[in-house]
Amino acid sequence: RRGPVAELIEAERLRPDALLLRWAEGEWTVAEFAAAARACATELQSAGVRRGDRVAIVSGNSEWRLAWQFGVHWLGAVEVSINSELRGTMLQHCLEDSDPSLLVLEAEFDEHLAGLIREVPRLRAEDVPQPIAAEAAAALDEAYAMVPAAELGTILYTSGTTGPSKGVMLPQAYFANLGSVFGAVL
């Protein structure tokens, strides 16, 4: 498996109207989620994010947090998931260590970042990006097809129970392959 974005593109081709996500206030089909993630990718691209750049996401769990994550992957950039419960030196360590070129941040976490790291450009996680045209979506898909499965896709920080959190470097294909393993076991 190449990665979650490749799996999403294939699912969109095969069953675009299938329910993919459901939360308390709504739901998204495969096609709706893919459109949201592509819109996030375009917003990230407009902010200067390129393949290989690190993008830290500081957000609680939500449908848009997931769309931003997929948007980062769509560009072949490196998603850095920051635990939204981190504060102080533990948060500072993860942000300094990952050296992001951009933060996707929910407004409620602004106060926790004050003075912790150098100034990094930011996008609001709760700002819903505009839908994109079919031609732009096709161009994103074409560019994503050039991203190798083994290329760095995510830096996931450990809990830090035995010292400073360590950034675990995961390839683009990791989550799709892990999902496949879980599916086979279950």
pLDDT tens digit string along 94-152? 999 999 999 999 888 888 877 777 788 889 888 889 999 999 999 999 999 999 999 99
Which pairs count as long-range contacts for 91-98, CB under 8 Å and 24+ apart, including other chains? 91/116, 92/116, 92/117, 93/160, 93/164, 93/165, 94/56, 94/157, 94/165, 94/167, 95/56, 97/157, 97/164, 97/165, 97/167, 98/54, 98/56, 98/155, 98/157, 98/167
pLDDT tens, 43-87?
Answer: 999 999 999 999 999 988 999 999 999 999 999 999 999 988 888
pLDDT of residue 34: 98
Q: What is the pTM of this model?
A: 0.92
pLDDT of residue 13: 97
What does pLDDT average to over the chain? 92
